[in-house]
Structure 1
């Protein structure tokens, strides 16, 4: 029998290399199947075996995996993507076809559609914002009037806060609806818009493996009308009763949606009526959450999730308990990134665990109000949240960049 291989359906621009390296540490040979391998820089840089295939075509993937099984012992199949969760669904279907450990693809699929997800959560009596589904501008305006302003207007399918906007007035609702339906937004399926109540309150997130709540963190995002991440910290400053309420609500979400195999990430707002579920993601939260959990608790969720995929026993025990926090580097204007530096100075500060830039000089910067805006992050670890915050502040002040704004159209040469 050949090498034990881990099949990765698609990749991840910010977390993909961590999956590849974790697989290699476990003695596995990672093979990435992708419709466009060039979008993942690490594949060529690290010479990772990659096969170009239409990952939206299940039959093509089955044929490719069958071909690979002649030369390799396929130990497991998993999927992840920064832009959407269809790769997770596809990987689940491949696992079913080949009799490998994996999640229920139907459960994953119902989570990917935010409207369907809301329906399942509502039927289970789980607190969620009021919501309506719209397919055209008239529907959106009617739904917003029914719920009452302000409202959140967003695509029913998507991730990374792409296309998500807080609309405080009827004009803002109309403006954002035009943006979504005019062809500027790239739809992953037929255009369907979710209009929902704006749940006011502190943002929290929970990461779960199987039916075990690994950790609960808190996050800051904005400024309105967008929800771009600014900072996140784990553990969240919750008392025992608050922690128990969020943990119990998390497990109720799993039961309602038929989840409970592998990783799940859930976001909440703590409103006047307590914790309200904003979103359930049938996967790990993205960068830098896995790093934060590893620093805070000594637990490598990426490695443990791969162990589950290949049928090995995982170990979710905490090794220690600290506070880990990340600050995101977000530009304040559009233009061209002339230069960015200070990563060495920031990294040398005691308590700084990682400094990472996502973009290189001379890169165009165009703000969209979502994850694509962020140009880097800094991670710190300390015994307390106050100490971690002070380290982050000092580190971020060590980093500088210059963006040359794009001149107004009439002033361009």
Structure 2
């Protein structure tokens, strides 16, 4: 009998190892297809099969999966993405080609285009920020004047807050738009720009699977004009009415975008007019969110997602109720990371689930104002909010690092 395999298109430094471990627990052989497999260090560390292939070329991926079928019983296909979420469309098309469980490719494609997503949500009566789609600096300025400064300026396609910035005046607007369109940013030169009303207020997010709401979390961000998450918490502290309004809006988003299959992550701001949908991500959330949800609710998003993509029954019902918090470790300057200290002491605190750094000493630090600014995280959980927050503070206070820049050196 052929070995059952799970195909993973590309990888992810946070969720990638979780998928590898969960697949193995489920008796599946994980196989990664990547344009550059060496960038995922966990593959070599775990001895995981990896195949080099152009993941932007759907025909190449079809040929490679067809070749693997001679050896393996491919039970499911899923994947990860960095800045370009179009890879999720490719994965959806692969699932359809090989007659495997997967989302509707058209729904994923429309959702990954933030302008089209806004249109569909607005047509369904879902509250979103005012928005315009611009192709050049002149249009960005004109639309910003219509909406009213300050505005959010970001690529129409992308993820992880990459290229997202609050522009408070015309100078900032011109400079950031030129940066996005001038080739310095990761987006293509043909990329269009989304100009959005600044929806100011507390941030919340929901995570769904199929048409089921799994979790509601909250997050705090670092200083503007960027949107770098500093801390996440599950569950969010909401009244029953607030929870119902966010839950109902989440289900409205899924219906409007045709996302009735698989995982989605929906982001909100609670403004003066109530909850406003910032964007819907047709995928499992990245970074620490799956761990936080498992610690808070006992629901394993990664394992149950693998069950879904391999045609098995999944179950994400909560089995307990704790409060889980993740604090991202964000440097305050660019330079060379000299040393890191205190990890073992922080890890030893009761209630700390994980202390992890993504970089090593002597690594260059270059902040971009997005999710990649985080150099590590601390995760803690306990039965109460107060206790968990106390655990996180104690752990973070024990951790230190030093960064030397050309101008000065600093320690945390």
Flag whether TM exceeds 0.5 (same fold).
yes
Taking structure 1 as the reference length, the TM-score comes to 0.97
Match of 1:98 in 2: 98
1:147 aligns with 2:147: yes
Trace 1:168-187 onto structure 2 (pairs within 5 A).
Answer: 168-187=168-187
What is the alpha-carbon distance in structure 2 between the residues aligned to residue 132 and residue 366 of structure 1? 31
What is the alpha-carbon distance in structure 1 between the residues aligned to residue 159 and residue 325 of structure 2? 22
1:65 aligns with 2:86: no
Q: Which runs of 5+ in 2 are unaligned?
A: none
1:40 aligns with 2:48: no
Match of 2:74 in 1: 74
Match of 1:10 in 2: 10
SS of alignment partner, residue 225 of structure 2: coil
Conserved in 2, the CA contact under 8 Å of 1:115 and 1:156?
Answer: yes
Conserved in 2, the CA contact under 8 Å of 1:157 and 1:189?
Answer: no
Displacement, 1:82?
3.1
Trace 1:238-317 onto structure 2 (pairs within 5 A).
Answer: 238-317=238-317
Trace 1:128-167 onto structure 2 (pairs within 5 A).
Answer: 128-167=128-167
What is the alpha-carbon distance in structure 2 between the residues aligned to residue 163 and residue 50 of structure 1? 30
SS of alignment partner, residue 70 of structure 1: coil
Match of 2:357 in 1: 357
What is the alpha-carbon distance in structure 1 between the residues aligned to residue 203 and residue 188 of structure 2? 27
Q: Deviations over 1:330-366 (max 9, x none)?
A: 0001100000111111111111111000110000001
| Number of aligned positions between the proteins | 408
Match of 2:338 in 1: 338
1:201 aligns with 2:201: yes
SS of alignment partner, residue 172 of structure 1: helix
Q: Deviations over 1:93-122 (max 9, x none)?
A: 011111111001111111111111111111
SS of alignment partner, residue 7 of structure 1: strand
Conserved in 1, the CA contact under 8 Å of 2:206 and 2:213?
Answer: yes
1:403 aligns with 2:383: no
Q: Deviations over 1:240-290 (max 9, x none)?
A: 111011000000000000002110000000001110000100011111000
SS of alignment partner, residue 242 of structure 2: helix
What is the alpha-carbon distance in structure 2 between the residues aligned to residue 189 and residue 38 of structure 1? 27
Match of 1:20 in 2: 20
Trace 1:212-251 onto structure 2 (pairs within 5 A).
Answer: 212-251=212-251
Match of 2:108 in 1: 108
Q: Deviations over 1:218-256 (max 9, x none)?
A: 000120000000001011110111101100000000000
Q: Which runs of 5+ in 1 are unaligned?
A: 409-413
Match of 2:191 in 1: 191
Backbone CA RMSD of aligned residues = 1.0
Taking structure 2 as the reference length, the TM-score comes to 0.97
